[in-house]
Amino acid sequence: MKIHEFQAKQLLRQAGVAVLEGHVAKTAEEAGAAYDALGGAIAVVKAQIHAGGRGKGTILEHPQQHGVQLVKSRQEAEDVAGRLLGGTLVTIQTGPAGHTVRQVFVEAGCDIARELYLGIVIDRAASQPVLMVSSEGGVEIEKVAAETPELIFKEHFDPHVGLQSFQVRKLCWKLGITGKSVRSAEKFMRTLCKLFVQQDCSLVEINPLVVTGAGEIVALDAKMTFDDNALFRHQDLLELRDLTEEDPAEVRAGKADLSFVKLEGNIGCLVNGAGLAMSTMDIIKLHGGQPANFLDVGGGAQTEQVTEAFRILLSDPNVRAVLVNIFGGIMQCTTIANAVLAAYKTVGFNVPLVVRLEGTEVAEGRKILAESGVDIITAEGLTDAAKKVVAAAG
């Protein structure tokens, strides 16, 4: 689960990690008031969307307006907020469609001496969390990793013991942070690592991390992503979820316990199991088609779930054909065939449906489909299924 920058900063502030003062605004008027509340000096107005690259991104309706802008007066704050709010922000991470800006964060300006990078993730290869810092702040860390990996420094830590002081001193030495800034960095980094574990984060990214003219370490930006599997023990975090930032079909699928990801193609897929679902997308592509989605219906594949899955697939106007690919293991193909038929009749199909069943009682399952009188194209084997659905989609 992702949250907005202003929400992440609230969590950082509560935990004792240094952030700048700021206020969230949903109208230009509120943004102006927020500017005044910050003392009327330099402030920054930042569009709040769940995607990075906001500073370089632009508003579709106002091509000169970037997603983050420095302002020096109340009027300017209101003007910038006016252009951002309700606008469509397109960044390298949003795709060409962009995200609608529904709120802005008005934050105090800051005297920047240096810009650094800080990120915490789970290092899968080491099976431990890792704190990464770099002297190259404010740019994409993927770019730094590809071009100058020697400028990224890493320290793993045990979630229960936390990041040790010596590890911070080591990183400071490598980054060239000296004097009283080392103490500020120690509090910042150790507290942040603790927060990462406490809140079951999957990512915390502070880019840029700033050393101020006074030598303090401050988070200028903040990105936090949480482990969906751990949300059951963080009811408070669930309140921070912004459904307007998520794909409506994905939200709907989530409610039905379906694992769904929207893609750009025109062949809808309904599959049991994540690995088989990914492979089904791959084989469609291999035979010249484009999958419209990833959909894992899970091990059960009950009639209600299949029905809801069909509805979600057919709600996508791009979909020209649907492929059902089920390997019936514990679940029998006869049960699945009946579920597909029932769902097919309930939903009212307007595009061709190709069904490939394999596994337990497959002959009986296919017989049920064949004798149903329903206009379903049956396929044997993955390749046959892919070819038939690609042909059906035209």
Partner 1 sequence: MSILVNKDTRLLCQGITGRAGAFHTKGCLEYGTQVVGGVTPGKGGKTVEGLPVFDTVCEAVEKEGANATMIFVPAAFTADAILEAVDAGIEVVVAITEGVPVVDMVHVYATVRRQNVTLIGPNCPGLITPDECKIGIMPGYIHKKGPVGLMSRSGTLTYEAVWQLTNLGLGQSTCVGLGGDPIVGTSFIDLLRQFEADPETEAILMMGEIGGTAEEEAAAFVKEHVSKPVAAFIAGRTAPPGKRMGHAGAIISGGKGTAAEKVAALEAAGIEIAESPADMGAAVQRAIAKRS
Only segment of 17-25, 66-74, 185-193, 268-276 that touches partner 1 (CB under 8 A): 268-276
CB 284 within 8 A of CB 386: yes
Tell me which of 87, 208, 273, 365 binds partner 1, using CB under 8 A.
273
Write down the catalytic residue from 30, 107, 186, 205.
205
DSSP string, 98-113: -EE---EEEEE---EE
Write down the catalytic residue from 5, 117, 155, 361.
117
CA distances from 256 to 234, 302, 345 (A): 21, 11, 19
Please give the residues from 114 up to 153 whose contact with partner 1 meets the rule CB under 8 A. 121-122, 124-125, 127-129, 141-142, 145-146
Whole-angstrom distance, CA of residue 90 vs CA of residue 362: 48
Whole-number minimum distance, CB 336 to partner 1, in Å?
Answer: 12
Tell me which of 18, 283, 309, 376 binds partner 1, using CB under 8 A.
283
255 near partner 1, rule: CB under 8 A: no
Only segment of 39-47, 80-88, 183-191, 266-274 that touches partner 1 (CB under 8 A): 266-274
Whole-number minimum distance, CB 230 to partner 1, in Å?
Answer: 4
* Closer CB to partner 1, 32 or 129, in the complex: 129
393 near partner 1, rule: CB under 8 A: no
* Closer CB to partner 1, 35 or 260, in the complex: 260
381 near partner 1, rule: CB under 8 A: yes
The answer to whether residue 205 is catalytic is yes
Whole-number minimum distance, CB 335 to partner 1, in Å?
Answer: 13
Q: For the chain, list the strands marked E by DSSP.
A: 22-25, 43-47, 58-59, 68-71, 88-90, 99-100, 104-108, 112-123, 128-134, 152-156, 201-212, 217-219, 223-226, 259-262, 267-271, 293-296, 321-328, 353-359, 377-379
Whole-angstrom distance, CA of residue 42 vs CA of residue 56: 20
* Closer CB to partner 1, 93 or 303, in the complex: 93
Nearest-CA neighbor of 22 among 115, 109, 148?
109
Nearest-CA neighbor of 78 among 36, 109, 116?
36
Burial of 47 (0-12, 13-18, 19+ CB in 10 A): buried
Whole-angstrom distance, CA of residue 80 vs CA of residue 65: 8
Tokens representing 148 are 């100058």
Only segment of 9-17, 80-88, 226-234, 313-321 that touches partner 1 (CB under 8 A): 226-234
Whole-number minimum distance, CB 150 to partner 1, in Å?
Answer: 17
Whole-angstrom distance, CA of residue 57 vs CA of residue 39: 28
Tokens representing 279 are 């492979």
84 near partner 1, rule: CB under 8 A: no
281 near partner 1, rule: CB under 8 A: yes
The answer to whether residue 117 is catalytic is yes
Nearest-CA neighbor of 171 among 160, 182, 162?
182
Tell me which of 232, 348, 373, 375 binds partner 1, using CB under 8 A.
232
64 near partner 1, rule: CB under 8 A: no
Nearest-CA neighbor of 110 among 177, 42, 181, 208?
42
User: C-alpha angle with apex 249: 140 to 298, nearest 5 degrees?
Assistant: 95
161 near partner 1, rule: CB under 8 A: no
Would you please indicate which residues are annotated as catalytic (active-site) residues?
A: 117, 205
- The site for partner 1 (CB under 8 A) is made up of 93, 121-122, 124-125, 127-129, 141-142, 145-146, 158-160, 197, 200, 202, 227-230, 232-233, 259, 261, 263, 271-286, 291, 294, 296, 299, 327-330, 358-360, 381-383
